[in-house]
Structure 1
Amino acid sequence: MVGTASNAGLRRKAKIARDEQEARAMSPLRALRLATEKTADASFSLVLSVQGIERALVDHAGLLKMVPDGVLLLLLDGPDGAVGVMTLDAATLAALIEMQTVGQVLARPLRERPLTRTDAAMAAPLVDGILHRMSQHLLDHPDAYWTCGYRYGAMIDDRRSLGMALGAPDFHVFRLPLDIADGLRSGEVMLALPQRLAPSVTTNGTDAGEISAQLQERVLDAPVRLDAILCRLSLPLSDFGRLAVGDVLPLPSDALREIAIEAAGRQLVATGRLGKVDGMRALRLTNPDHRLTPVGSPDLSAQAAPPRSAKGPSSAVITPQAPNDYSPETRPDHDLKRPDATGSFGAAADDLQPYAFNDGPAAA
């Protein structure tokens, strides 16, 4: 009796020292130990002490070799279809059953017997409690992506069936030697969780999806320059060299009705017509809903614009046209005009009166 008490005292001292060492930082090993001891006490009133944890990374075949005979095999359901396993040896299982039936661990030898679904049901609270508490301890830990989110699934009969149920190529394996009821019995629990790929994160821990959303927001807030093009003219170099202040460049009669709205690289964004709103120059878009098209593409320049009503843009779908781009052979008379003595450009300028969008079809 004295020897038993002395051993129990040594175990308590060792546990205190281990607690102090592990208290500096949470880890999967410490989380698993704390979760196991706490669950045994809270759910079964069972004094259970983890004597040390062995951790290894093994492949599928190596895991099956580590599973001993005569243990209870319990599958674990994890996130995204992940499947793990927890095993309980006969001594641990017997202690759980005895605490639930007679309220104490009996000092008697264990007898060998087949394991049943009833055994699995009586052990399920221990399994779920360990997994839940372990997840709570590791919520903010870098290893949370492969340690958290598991729960009890089902009992499986043998090692062969276990091998078929486990689909991952590699597993994190934890073996927990247990001291049960202050040395009255020794047992072992093994936990195996599949190795999973770490989620994509940045150096500051931000999720890749969040980075993509932030980048999209910044891009959409960037300024975009749009140019309104009345028309494009081609002049002989000799006329270009004679340009002077006051010269008049003749524009086509539909210049105000066929204004091209272009983005960078002369990409056609929309078409519009020039007018006035509250006395200020304005553009009314006539066809903004089409994909960006390079200005001057053959399929657009060959199409004629559909008719428009005098009261506003046509309700029909309008195919955008490239702005007028006259070559020397097709351009209108390019003779340069200068204002007369009264400062007027003549009647031709009257053809270019802008529409007043809020005062009627034409400006006075």
Structure 2
Amino acid sequence: MTAASTDVIRRKIDRARPTQAEGAPGADRGWRLALARAARDAMGLDLDFRSLTIARQSLAEILETVPDRALLALLDGPQGGLGVIMLGATVTATFIEKQTLGRLSAQPPVPRKASRIDAAMVAGVIDRALQGLDEALVEEADLVWAGGFRYASYLEDARPLGLMLEDEAYRVLSAEVVLGDGGREGRVILVLPAAGRGASPVLAPDIAEADIPQFTEALSAQVMQAGCRLDAVIGRLVLPLHQIMALQVGEVLMLPTAGLDRVSLETVEGRHLVPARLGQHRGMRALKLSEAVTGRSAAPVVLRPLVQPASEEPPAELRAAG
């Protein structure tokens, strides 16, 4: 066999060999695990991947592959980088149905255009999946371009993407997923800038060269990761037991110092930590802290009990509130 014929055969073999997806196996494996766990933990929904491809595409190519009636969510990333996640109509409808009804019907959902309310309901699942991707890539090189993104806003259609996204190369993770036991199928497309702008991965230190951490430091790290419940208290009222037993229907209990801008963030024991203001964030109730939380101790806030008999006329502000 001549050298020329050998080169021809070698080129044919190389052309037939499938190319490894760019960014695999780190981003490939990480996104599979992160999205499946987010659907399971947030909604109790089984999500399996039928296929996942990772490719480098231009902005023009991305705009041509937007699924019909897809939910488009803009993602905010490190150093001002922007990405986008596209949920197919079946995926969006299944997420909403599982959250609202707690189960999936036997009939497939009717295709419809996603709304801003739909985006608000799935924003938590998207953020949970992206956070899981960060955790899966903490020691992977793909963390530089795939890490640090979170839900930013909802887009009604794909037209603004041509103006909002920079005209650069993007890494596109296109997945075909199966939802629930009914075998519903849909698409999930994650588009992130190919140029890495995120933090570098944290490489595992060499145990032979690294110093062994002290027991107290390791214990402190474990304790600081433990969960802690905090209560947001708008007002507190302390009454004698005989006065509580004498309460009647229609009686009004006055909270003179209560207010939406005077919320107290407290521990389960009633210790005041920091003042806050009640508001909302992405359609959910939220607290905005008025100052930083410190290690100082403070006495619990106790309001003087005031009871207004039912026979007395309630104040004007209560009558206006109904």
In 2, the alpha carbon distance for the partners of 1:188 and 1:167 equals: 24
How far off its partner does 1:55 sit?
Answer: 1.0
- 8 A Cα contact 2:147 2:198, kept in partner: no
Q: Corresponding residue for 2:169?
A: 170
- 8 A Cα contact 1:107 1:184, kept in partner: no
Structure ID, larger Rg: 1
In 2, the alpha carbon distance for the partners of 1:82 and 1:199 equals: 9
**Letter of the 2:40 counterpart:** D
How far off its partner does 1:51 sit?
Answer: 1.4
Query: Residues 59-208 of structure 1 correspond to what in structure 2 (within 5 A)?
Result: 59-197=58-196
In 2, the alpha carbon distance for the partners of 1:138 and 1:84 equals: 18
| Inter-CA distance 91–197: structure 2 relative to 1 (3 Å threshold) | closer
Query: Residues 213-252 of structure 1 correspond to what in structure 2 (within 5 A)?
Result: none
- 8 A Cα contact 1:48 1:182, kept in partner: no
- 8 A Cα contact 1:26 1:137, kept in partner: no
- 8 A Cα contact 2:88 2:188, kept in partner: yes
- 8 A Cα contact 1:26 1:138, kept in partner: no
- 8 A Cα contact 2:89 2:114, kept in partner: no
In 2, the alpha carbon distance for the partners of 1:198 and 1:115 equals: 30
Which structure has more relative contact order (CA 8 Å, sep 6+)? It is 2
How far off its partner does 1:88 sit?
Answer: 0.5
- 8 A Cα contact 2:106 2:182, kept in partner: no
How far off its partner does 1:115 sit?
Answer: 2.1
**Letter of the 2:57 counterpart:** V
5+ residue gaps, structure 1, are 1-24, 206-364
How far off its partner does 1:113 sit?
Answer: 2.9
- 8 A Cα contact 1:127 1:152, kept in partner: yes
Matched pairs, number? 180
SS of 2:160's partner is: helix
In 2, the alpha carbon distance for the partners of 1:164 and 1:199 equals: 23
In 1, the alpha carbon distance for the partners of 2:115 and 2:150 equals: 20
**Letter of the 2:149 counterpart:** Y
**Letter of the 1:137 counterpart:** A
| Inter-CA distance 197–42: structure 2 relative to 1 (3 Å threshold) | closer
1:46 aligns with 2:45: yes
In 2, the alpha carbon distance for the partners of 1:200 and 1:178 equals: 29
How far off its partner does 1:156 sit?
Answer: 0.8
Length-normalised TM-score, structure 2: 0.53
**Letter of the 1:120 counterpart:** A
Query: Residues 240-319 of structure 1 correspond to what in structure 2 (within 5 A)?
Result: none
SS of 1:108's partner is: coil
In 1, the alpha carbon distance for the partners of 2:117 and 2:132 equals: 24
Q: After the TM superposition, which segments of 4 or more aligned residues of structure 1 sit over 6 Å from their partners?
A: 198-201
What is the CA RMSD across the aligned residues, in angstroms? 2.4
**Letter of the 2:96 counterpart:** I
Deviation string for 1:223-255 (max 9, x for gaps)? xxxxxxxxxxxxxxxxxxxxxxxxxxxxxxxxx
In 2, the alpha carbon distance for the partners of 1:52 and 1:110 equals: 22
How far off its partner does 1:184 sit?
Answer: 3.0
**Letter of the 2:124 counterpart:** P
In 1, the alpha carbon distance for the partners of 2:66 and 2:122 equals: 18
**Letter of the 1:86 counterpart:** I
SS of 1:80's partner is: helix
In 2, the alpha carbon distance for the partners of 1:171 and 1:88 equals: 18
- 8 A Cα contact 1:39 1:130, kept in partner: yes
| Inter-CA distance 59–26: structure 2 relative to 1 (3 Å threshold) | closer
- 8 A Cα contact 2:27 2:142, kept in partner: yes
How far off its partner does 1:155 sit?
Answer: 0.5
